[in-house]
Every structure is written in structure tokens, then in C-alpha cells.
Amino acid sequence: MSVLELAGRALAEESARFAGLGWMRGTSGNLSVVLGRDPLRVAVTVSGRDKGELTSDDVVLVGEDGLAVADQPHPDKVPSAEAGLHARIAAVSGAGAVIHVHALAPVVAAEHWPDGVELRDLEMLKGFGRAAHDDLVTIPVIANGQDMRVLGDAFEAGFRADTPAVIVARHGIYVWGDDLRHARHRLECLEWLLRFRVETRLVGEERGVR
């Protein structure tokens, strides 16, 4: 198996997990792993497939612009439209893998807190790489759009190395890590944290917490 096929197999396995969680409904969401740094080469899931049914072939290699590079077995495959943001996140953060899903909790949280979702004093923050106590974590929110350069600029403007996630309002969330498993663990914990924040919102308001 080629390096690209191995990446495709890993992306397919991860996608099936997220589809099972209901976070990649229809054909939504996409995953990527970095295969090269100079120049940047990112293996990303192809566009338009059911994310619960991907195979090791449903992967395409893109460059820093998110477009398929010529030097691969099937350069005619169409990468996800969001591949450009994956590449931008990988370039800026140094991450080895980026996950994008259309989970509901992050999008609802961004409706409530469009300037950023604050999290603190929750054990699950450890799974996101932060402290369980006295560590205010703000998950940035950027506006949705179809131009990945505009989204990339907005992401980069709010980027902090210790906060490996960004919510796209009325759309979904991106989370990244050293590899797919690392990114997945962060996403699973962050989804829990955001769901907690949404579901306890009224409790927080009663106590005067934003």
C-alpha cells in the first residue's frame, strides 16, 4: 500500500467513527493528515462521499492552496471544498491531522456566544490539552463562508497555539492535533465540553456567569 493509500485507510476508519457519532451527516465533514511539509502536502478526504462508507481510495493529495497536486495516481479526484482551510490550519498550527465535523453542539454554542465560547473548571479540559482548574479556555468563532482564504485569514487572526480548535458559525468545527488519534481525542472531549456549556447555559445565567 502506498503512503497515500495508508492515509486514505486511516481517514476512512476515522470518518466511520465520526459518522457513527452523528457528526458527519449526509456527506458533510472532512478529515486530513499531513504527508509532507516542504512543500506542504495534505491527504484529504474526497468530496461528496458518505463518510460512513469511505475506502482507502477516497483520498486526494492537495497542496497549500487546497487544490489537488498533479503528482499523484489520480490527480483528477476532487478534494473537499474545505481542503484549503485544512491546509491553512496545518501550515499555521504545525498539526499533523485536522478534523472537520458538523457536530451540533459547537454550532449551537456559537449561536449563544458568537465572540468565542468560554470554558473553565471542567475535568474534560485535560483531554483538550488544558488544565482542569483556573485555566480560561476560549474557543474562537469565525463567520461561515465559501471562500477558504477568507475563512483561513479569520482563523489565523484568532489562532492560539494552546487552543487547537475553531468553530465556524452555523456550520461546524475544526480540531487538530499531532495525528488523527490525538485530534480525535481532543474533538471528543471538546464536543462534550461544548455540549455541557450549552445544556447548562441557564444555570450559568442564574449564577451570573457569562
Closer residue to Zn ion, CB minimum distance, 11 or 122: 11
Across 52-90, b (16+ Cβ under 10 Å) vs e yields eebebebbbbbbeebebbeebeeeebebbebbbbbbbbb
Contacts of residue 21, defined as CB under 8 A and 6 or more positions apart, other chains included, come to 103
Site stretch for Zn ion (CB under 5 A), options 4-12, 19-27, 123-131, 169-177: 169-177
Q: Does 172 bind Zn ion (CB under 5 A)?
A: yes
Site stretch for Zn ion (CB under 5 A), options 2-10, 108-116, 118-126, 164-172: 164-172
104: which 3 cell numbers?
451540533
Residue numbers belonging to the annotated binding site for Zn(2+): 100, 102
- Scan for cell 489537488, then name that residue: 68
Least separation, in Å, of the C-beta of 67 and Zn ion? 18
Please name every residue paired with 119 in a beta bridge, in sequence order, or none if there are none.
137
Closer residue to Zn ion, CB minimum distance, 96 or 172: 172
Site stretch for Zn ion (CB under 5 A), options 45-53, 65-73, 154-162, 165-173: 165-173
Residues making contact with Zn ion (CB under 5 A): 172
